Amino acid sequence: MPKVVDPDARRRAVVDALFRVVVRDGLQRTSLRAVADEAGLNIGSLRHYFASQQELMDFAMQSMLDGLTDRLLQHVERIGDLGRYPCAERLRLVTDLLAELLPLDERRGAEVTVFLDFNAAARTNPAFQDLAHQAAAGTRRLVHRVLTRLDESGTLRPGRDIAIETERLTSLLDGLSLSAVRHPDILGAQMCRQVLAAHLEDLSGAG
């Protein structure tokens, strides 16, 4: 009896293989054949699910962004109303939330590594630019929402310009991610989190 293959599960397995190849070899050296080998498939089987490298990359990046969005929304839902927490707890909860965007463990490290390679490629590859823009805009919306909620709960120092603070915090997250991926021996996960927490404390005046 022929083996029944779950197409969705097979696509997820191929995406996981793609991530491993990109993390190990870089996006520029990632080919359909390399991904097929990593996934334990022949190239014909892989092309049954993804006709081209572009289609595979688009699907992988959209899947990653969708998964990250789901995690963040679940995190926001668990937090609920920030105003019901003491100030120090509000800052810890927001640090935990934004830390989802940093390479603090193997899963997040792979996501950030792949995203950085993808984002660099988008500078010269128009096919990647829409998703790269979507990710950048989504990060800013999240950060703006978080800062607005902190402000509404009375956590931020009075007079903060939320638009400017959104760009400052987004730039900090981007810089930490890049440095931690490129120089993990210099900037580790614990220090990434400490820097993020210190910045939020400065915004609130709690430090």
| CATH class of segment(s) 1-51 | mainly alpha
Given this model, what pLDDT does residue 3 score?
56
Amino acid of residue 41: L
Cα angle 91, 73, 94; round to 5: 5
Task: Map residue 30 onto helix, strand or coil.
Answer: coil
Instruction: Tell me whether the CATH fold assigned to 1-51 matches the one assigned to 61-204.
Output: no
Q: What's the pLDDT band for 170 if we cut at 50, 70, 90?
A: very high
- Could you tell me the pTM of the whole model? 0.87
- For the chain, the domains span 1-51, 61-204
Given this model, what pLDDT does residue 137 score?
93
- Token pair recorded at residue 143: 């950060």
Span 183-205, average pLDDT: 95
Q: Which residue has the tokens 């630019």?
A: 129
Chosen CATH of 61-204 out of 3.50.50.60, 1.10.357.10, 3.90.1170.40, 2.30.110.10: 1.10.357.10
Span 46-64, average pLDDT: 86
CB 110 within 8 A of CB 23: yes
Segment 68-121, tens digit of pLDDT: 888 888 888 888 888 889 999 999 999 999 999 999 999 899 999 998 988 888
- Token pair recorded at residue 131: 């998703």
